[in-house]
Amino acid sequence: MLNLARRFSRWARSIHAPPSVPDELWLATLARYPFLPRLGKPENARLRLLTAYFLNQKQFTGAHDFNITDSMAVAVAAQACLPLLHLGPTERPEAALAWYDDFVGIVIQPAEVMARREVIDAAGVVHRFEEVITGEAMEHGPVMLSWPAVEEAGHAQDLGHSVVIHEFIHKMDMKGGEADGCPPLPPGFMGTRDARSARTAWFSVLKPAFQALRDQVVLAERFGQPMPWLDAYGTTSIVEFFPVACEAYFVQRSRFTEEWPALTHLFDALFNPHGQRS
C-alpha cells in the first residue's frame, strides 16, 4: 500500500479536498518529466490539484510484489491528468476526472508483459500469437502500465512518447463505449450542431491524418524514405492512431504542431476548448 495513497485516503474522509502533493515530490516529478507545465504557470497549479484528486480516487497495485513508491504514483497521476488540464470548470478543475470514473485500479508491472492474442482473419482462420505490451486499458476495467515504459517518457521527450497518456486517451475514447478513435465530443464541437455532425467533423480530420501516416510508413519500408517521427504503431488502426498522436501532441507539442497542424487544431478544440495557455 502506498504511503501517500494512505494519507490521501485518510484526509478525504475528513475534508472534501485532498492535500496537495508535497513540494519535494512535485518538484522531482517536474524535473523527471519536462513536458509537464513548469512552475509559475497557472497550468502547473491546476495539474497539481488534479493529481491530488486522482491519487485520492485511484488504487495502485504492483504486480508480482512490485513495490510502488509515492514518486511512481505521482508520475503516473500527473501524466494521466495532463489531457484533462483544461476540461474542468475554472472553479472546479477536478470535475474533469469524470472522464476516468469507470475504473479505480492501476496495475504497475515491473517490466514489459507478454500477452496472448487471438485474431480471426477474413477467411475465418484463427491466428494465435504473443505480443509484447507496455500498457493496456480495459473498458470499465483497470489500466496496466509497465514501469520502465512510464520512466522512459521522461528521457525521450523528443520522441513524443508517454505510455501513460496513451492508455488514458484510450480510456477517454472508451467513455462513450467501445473505442473507435473518437471520444465523446462536447456540444457545439468545432461549430457543429449535434453529436453526429461532431463525429463527422472529428473523423474528417483524423482519418486523412491516419492515412497520411500509413503512407509515410509504406514509403519508408518499401522505398527507403525516412521513417516518420510519429510512432508507426499508430498505423495499426485508427483506434491506436488517436492515442499515438495525442502522446506527441502533449509531450512534444512544438514539433507536433509543425508536422500535423490540422491535428493540432482538432486536438486543441477537444483538450483546450477555451484556448487557456500560459
CATH number of 180-278: 3.40.390
Q: Hey, what amino acid is at 93?
A: P
Q: pLDDT for 206-221, tens place per residue? A: 999 999 999 999 999 9
Q: Which residues of 230-267 are buried (b: 16+ CB within 10 A; e: fewer)?
A: bbbebbeebbbbbbbbbbbbbbbbeebbebbeebbebb
Report the chain's terminal Cα–Cα distance, integer Å. 36
> Who wins on pLDDT, 241 or 124?
241
The answer on pLDDT for 100 being more than 90 is yes
- The whole-number pLDDT of residue 112 equals 78
> Could you give the strand order of the β-sheet that contains 135-137, starting from the edge strand earlier in sequence?
59-62, 105-109, 143-146, 135-137
**Residues, the chain:** 278
Q: Pinpoint the residues of the chain covered by CATH 1.10.472.150.
A: 1-175
Domain with CATH 3.40.390 in the chain: 180-278
The per-residue pLDDT for 125 is 67
Q: Which three cell numbers stand for residue 260?
A: 500535423
- Write down the mean pLDDT value for the chain: 90
User: 163-174 and 70-81 helices cross at what angle (nearest 10)?
Assistant: 50
Q: 1-175 adopts what CATH topology?
A: Cyclin A; domain 1 (1.10.472)
